[in-house]
Amino acid sequence: MKIDILSLFPEILKGPLSESIIGKAVENKIVNIDITNFRDFSTNKHHNVDDTPFGGGAGMLLKPQPMLDAFAHTQQVSVEQGYPTGRVILTDPAGKRFEESDAVDLAKEDHLTFLCGHYEGFDERIKSVVTDEYSIGDFVLTGGELPALVMIDATVRLIKGVLGNQESAPDDSFSTGLLEYPQYTRPADFRGSKVPPVLTSGDHQKIADWRQKESLRKTYLRRPDLIDYDKLSKKQKELLADVKIEEEKK
Protein backbone atom coordinates (compact mmCIF):
# COMPACT_ATOMS: atom_id res chain seq x y z
CA MET A 1 0.00 0.00 0.00
CA LYS A 2 1.10 3.56 -0.75
CA ILE A 3 0.12 6.27 1.74
CA ASP A 4 0.61 9.98 1.08
CA ILE A 5 0.10 12.56 3.82
CA LEU A 6 -0.18 16.29 3.18
CA SER A 7 0.64 18.31 6.27
CA LEU A 8 2.07 21.64 7.43
CA PHE A 9 3.86 19.89 10.30
CA PRO A 10 5.58 16.72 9.01
CA GLU A 11 7.64 16.31 12.18
CA ILE A 12 4.48 15.46 14.14
CA LEU A 13 4.05 12.45 11.85
CA LYS A 14 7.58 11.20 11.25
CA GLY A 15 8.29 9.81 14.70
CA PRO A 16 5.14 7.72 15.21
CA LEU A 17 5.23 6.42 11.63
CA SER A 18 8.78 5.12 12.05
CA GLU A 19 8.15 3.19 15.25
CA SER A 20 6.55 -0.07 16.36
CA ILE A 21 4.28 -2.02 13.99
CA ILE A 22 3.92 0.70 11.36
CA GLY A 23 7.67 1.29 11.33
CA LYS A 24 8.25 -2.42 10.74
CA ALA A 25 5.64 -2.46 7.96
CA VAL A 26 7.53 0.37 6.26
CA GLU A 27 10.88 -1.35 6.83
CA ASN A 28 9.52 -4.57 5.35
CA LYS A 29 8.17 -2.64 2.35
CA ILE A 30 4.60 -3.70 3.02
CA VAL A 31 3.65 -0.03 3.25
CA ASN A 32 5.26 3.00 1.61
CA ILE A 33 4.54 6.29 3.41
CA ASP A 34 5.43 9.75 2.05
CA ILE A 35 4.82 13.03 3.86
CA THR A 36 4.55 16.25 1.86
CA ASN A 37 4.58 19.74 3.35
CA PHE A 38 2.06 21.61 1.23
CA ARG A 39 3.54 24.95 2.33
CA ASP A 40 6.36 24.15 -0.10
CA PHE A 41 3.85 24.55 -2.94
CA SER A 42 2.62 28.00 -1.98
CA THR A 43 3.12 30.55 -4.77
CA ASN A 44 2.84 33.43 -2.31
CA LYS A 45 6.17 35.19 -1.69
CA HIS A 46 5.65 34.76 2.06
CA HIS A 47 4.65 31.10 1.58
CA ASN A 48 1.27 31.73 3.16
CA VAL A 49 -1.20 28.86 2.94
CA ASP A 50 -4.18 30.53 4.62
CA ASP A 51 -6.33 33.61 4.28
CA THR A 52 -9.41 35.25 5.80
CA PRO A 53 -12.81 33.86 4.77
CA PHE A 54 -15.04 35.69 2.30
CA GLY A 55 -18.02 37.15 4.06
CA GLY A 56 -16.10 37.67 7.28
CA GLY A 57 -15.80 35.52 10.34
CA ALA A 58 -13.21 34.40 12.84
CA GLY A 59 -10.13 32.36 11.99
CA MET A 60 -8.24 31.59 8.82
CA LEU A 61 -8.97 29.11 6.04
CA LEU A 62 -6.50 26.97 4.11
CA LYS A 63 -6.33 28.20 0.53
CA PRO A 64 -6.96 25.70 -2.30
CA GLN A 65 -3.83 26.41 -4.37
CA PRO A 66 -1.06 25.04 -2.07
CA MET A 67 -3.03 21.95 -1.06
CA LEU A 68 -4.25 21.05 -4.55
CA ASP A 69 -0.87 21.63 -6.18
CA ALA A 70 0.80 19.50 -3.51
CA PHE A 71 -1.82 16.83 -4.07
CA ALA A 72 -1.23 16.87 -7.82
CA HIS A 73 2.50 16.47 -7.14
CA THR A 74 1.96 13.40 -4.94
CA GLN A 75 -0.25 11.87 -7.63
CA GLN A 76 2.45 12.58 -10.24
CA VAL A 77 0.01 14.40 -12.50
CA SER A 78 -0.63 18.03 -13.33
CA VAL A 79 -3.70 19.88 -12.15
CA GLU A 80 -4.79 20.14 -15.79
CA GLN A 81 -4.58 16.36 -16.24
CA GLY A 82 -6.99 15.77 -13.43
CA TYR A 83 -6.60 13.29 -10.60
CA PRO A 84 -6.58 9.50 -10.61
CA THR A 85 -9.24 7.62 -8.74
CA GLY A 86 -8.24 6.67 -5.20
CA ARG A 87 -9.20 7.24 -1.61
CA VAL A 88 -8.41 10.79 -0.53
CA ILE A 89 -9.24 11.33 3.12
CA LEU A 90 -9.91 14.67 4.74
CA THR A 91 -9.51 14.77 8.51
CA ASP A 92 -12.43 16.91 9.64
CA PRO A 93 -14.45 17.06 12.90
CA ALA A 94 -17.56 17.39 10.72
CA GLY A 95 -16.77 14.13 8.91
CA LYS A 96 -18.20 10.64 9.40
CA ARG A 97 -17.16 8.97 12.66
CA PHE A 98 -14.24 6.66 11.83
CA GLU A 99 -14.93 3.07 12.88
CA GLU A 100 -13.33 -0.35 12.59
CA SER A 101 -15.39 -1.12 9.49
CA ASP A 102 -13.85 1.93 7.81
CA ALA A 103 -10.35 0.70 8.67
CA VAL A 104 -11.20 -2.69 7.15
CA ASP A 105 -12.44 -0.94 4.02
CA LEU A 106 -9.36 1.28 3.67
CA ALA A 107 -6.99 -1.66 4.25
CA LYS A 108 -8.16 -3.11 0.92
CA GLU A 109 -6.95 -0.07 -1.03
CA ASP A 110 -3.66 0.29 -2.90
CA HIS A 111 -3.27 4.03 -2.36
CA LEU A 112 -4.50 6.38 0.36
CA THR A 113 -3.94 10.11 0.68
CA PHE A 114 -4.59 12.01 3.91
CA LEU A 115 -5.14 15.77 3.90
CA CYS A 116 -4.35 17.27 7.30
CA GLY A 117 -5.91 20.62 8.03
CA HIS A 118 -5.12 23.44 10.44
CA TYR A 119 -6.57 26.80 11.42
CA GLU A 120 -10.32 27.36 11.10
CA GLY A 121 -10.80 24.92 8.23
CA PHE A 122 -10.54 24.35 4.48
CA ASP A 123 -11.60 26.35 1.47
CA GLU A 124 -14.51 24.23 0.22
CA ARG A 125 -12.86 23.82 -3.19
CA ILE A 126 -10.17 21.62 -1.67
CA LYS A 127 -12.88 19.00 -1.25
CA SER A 128 -13.07 18.61 -5.02
CA VAL A 129 -10.44 15.84 -4.73
CA VAL A 130 -11.73 14.31 -1.48
CA THR A 131 -13.47 10.93 -1.47
CA ASP A 132 -13.92 10.52 2.31
CA GLU A 133 -14.25 12.88 5.27
CA TYR A 134 -13.60 11.32 8.68
CA SER A 135 -13.66 12.41 12.30
CA ILE A 136 -12.24 10.39 15.21
CA GLY A 137 -14.65 11.85 17.77
CA ASP A 138 -16.85 14.71 18.84
CA PHE A 139 -14.06 17.06 19.83
CA VAL A 140 -11.79 19.54 18.08
CA LEU A 141 -8.01 19.22 17.77
CA THR A 142 -5.44 21.79 16.66
CA GLY A 143 -4.76 19.92 13.44
CA GLY A 144 -5.44 16.84 11.37
CA GLU A 145 -2.15 15.04 12.00
CA LEU A 146 -3.26 13.11 15.08
CA PRO A 147 -6.50 11.87 13.49
CA ALA A 148 -4.51 10.84 10.41
CA LEU A 149 -2.10 8.86 12.60
CA VAL A 150 -5.00 7.14 14.35
CA MET A 151 -6.65 6.15 11.07
CA ILE A 152 -3.38 5.01 9.49
CA ASP A 153 -2.52 2.88 12.53
CA ALA A 154 -5.99 1.29 12.57
CA THR A 155 -5.77 0.59 8.83
CA VAL A 156 -2.19 -0.59 8.39
CA ARG A 157 -2.40 -3.19 11.16
CA LEU A 158 -5.12 -4.97 9.14
CA ILE A 159 -2.93 -5.42 6.05
CA LYS A 160 -1.74 -8.99 5.57
CA GLY A 161 1.77 -9.50 6.88
CA VAL A 162 1.84 -6.45 9.15
CA LEU A 163 0.94 -8.12 12.44
CA GLY A 164 3.22 -10.87 13.65
CA ASN A 165 0.18 -12.95 14.60
CA GLN A 166 -2.50 -12.57 11.94
CA GLU A 167 -5.04 -14.09 14.34
CA SER A 168 -4.75 -11.03 16.59
CA ALA A 169 -6.71 -8.59 14.44
CA PRO A 170 -9.97 -10.58 14.10
CA ASP A 171 -10.11 -11.08 17.89
CA ASP A 172 -9.57 -7.43 18.81
CA SER A 173 -12.30 -5.19 20.17
CA PHE A 174 -14.78 -3.95 17.53
CA SER A 175 -13.58 -6.48 14.92
CA THR A 176 -16.37 -8.84 15.99
CA GLY A 177 -18.75 -6.06 16.92
CA LEU A 178 -18.05 -6.74 20.62
CA LEU A 179 -15.38 -5.60 23.04
CA GLU A 180 -12.51 -8.01 23.60
CA TYR A 181 -12.61 -10.39 26.57
CA PRO A 182 -10.16 -9.97 29.51
CA GLN A 183 -6.76 -11.61 29.03
CA TYR A 184 -4.09 -12.89 31.41
CA THR A 185 -0.50 -14.11 31.29
CA ARG A 186 1.98 -15.65 33.76
CA PRO A 187 2.12 -15.86 36.71
CA ALA A 188 -1.22 -17.55 37.37
CA ASP A 189 -1.19 -16.07 40.88
CA PHE A 190 0.10 -12.51 41.10
CA ARG A 191 0.15 -11.27 44.69
CA GLY A 192 -3.06 -13.07 45.47
CA SER A 193 -4.85 -12.10 42.28
CA LYS A 194 -5.48 -15.33 40.37
CA VAL A 195 -6.23 -16.12 36.76
CA PRO A 196 -9.76 -17.53 36.24
CA PRO A 197 -9.39 -21.33 36.63
CA VAL A 198 -11.08 -22.06 33.29
CA LEU A 199 -8.14 -20.52 31.42
CA THR A 200 -5.72 -23.03 32.92
CA SER A 201 -8.09 -25.99 32.58
CA GLY A 202 -6.92 -27.05 29.13
CA ASP A 203 -10.55 -27.45 28.04
CA HIS A 204 -10.63 -25.46 24.79
CA GLN A 205 -14.42 -25.44 24.47
CA LYS A 206 -14.88 -24.11 28.00
CA ILE A 207 -12.22 -21.48 27.36
CA ALA A 208 -13.94 -20.41 24.14
CA ASP A 209 -17.31 -20.17 25.93
CA TRP A 210 -15.76 -18.16 28.79
CA ARG A 211 -14.14 -15.74 26.38
CA GLN A 212 -17.37 -15.27 24.46
CA LYS A 213 -19.33 -14.71 27.65
CA GLU A 214 -16.82 -12.22 29.06
CA SER A 215 -16.72 -10.40 25.75
CA LEU A 216 -20.49 -10.05 25.92
CA ARG A 217 -20.28 -9.00 29.58
CA LYS A 218 -17.76 -6.23 28.91
CA THR A 219 -19.76 -4.97 25.95
CA TYR A 220 -23.04 -5.12 27.90
CA LEU A 221 -21.56 -3.13 30.79
CA ARG A 222 -19.46 -0.62 28.84
CA ARG A 223 -20.89 -0.29 25.33
CA PRO A 224 -24.38 -1.83 25.18
CA ASP A 225 -25.00 0.22 22.03
CA LEU A 226 -22.67 -2.14 20.15
CA ILE A 227 -24.80 -5.21 20.76
CA ASP A 228 -27.04 -6.07 17.83
CA TYR A 229 -29.32 -8.73 19.32
CA ASP A 230 -30.58 -9.86 15.92
CA LYS A 231 -27.04 -10.74 14.84
CA LEU A 232 -26.17 -12.77 17.94
CA SER A 233 -26.05 -16.54 17.62
CA LYS A 234 -28.32 -18.71 19.75
CA LYS A 235 -25.34 -19.50 21.98
CA GLN A 236 -24.45 -15.82 22.37
CA LYS A 237 -28.04 -14.97 23.32
CA GLU A 238 -27.95 -17.64 26.02
CA LEU A 239 -24.63 -16.36 27.34
CA LEU A 240 -25.86 -12.77 27.33
CA ALA A 241 -28.97 -13.81 29.29
CA ASP A 242 -26.69 -15.43 31.89
CA VAL A 243 -24.59 -12.26 32.04
CA LYS A 244 -27.64 -10.09 32.70
CA ILE A 245 -28.81 -12.39 35.52
CA GLU A 246 -25.35 -12.43 37.08
CA GLU A 247 -24.98 -8.65 36.90
CA GLU A 248 -28.41 -8.05 38.39
CA LYS A 249 -27.44 -10.18 41.41
CA LYS A 250 -24.33 -8.10 42.13
Contact 64, 129 (CB under 8 A): no
Interatomic CA distance for residues 125 and 67, integer angstroms: 10
Q: Is 104 annotated as a binding residue?
A: no
In angstroms and rounded to an integer, the radius of gyration of the C-alpha atoms of the chain is 23
Contact 148, 3 (CB under 8 A): no
Judge whether 217 counts as a catalytic residue: no
Interatomic CA distance for residues 11 and 226, integer angstroms: 36
Q: Is 33 annotated as a binding residue?
A: no
Judge whether 157 counts as a catalytic residue: yes
Catalytic-role residue among 102, 120, 123, 171: 120
Q: Is 132 annotated as a binding residue?
A: no
Interatomic CA distance for residues 105 and 132, integer angstroms: 12
Q: Is 137 annotated as a binding residue?
A: yes
Catalytic-role residue among 93, 123, 153, 180: 93
Q: Is 117 annotated as a binding residue?
A: yes
Catalytic-role residue among 172, 180, 182, 211: 172
Judge whether 84 counts as a catalytic residue: no
Contact 229, 237 (CB under 8 A): yes
Catalytic-role residue among 4, 132, 145, 157: 157
Amino acid letter, residue 209: D
Contact 42, 48 (CB under 8 A): yes
- Which residue numbers belong to the known binding site for S-adenosyl-L-methionine? 117, 136-141
- Which residue numbers belong to the known binding site? 117, 136-141
Catalytic residues: 93, 120, 157, 172
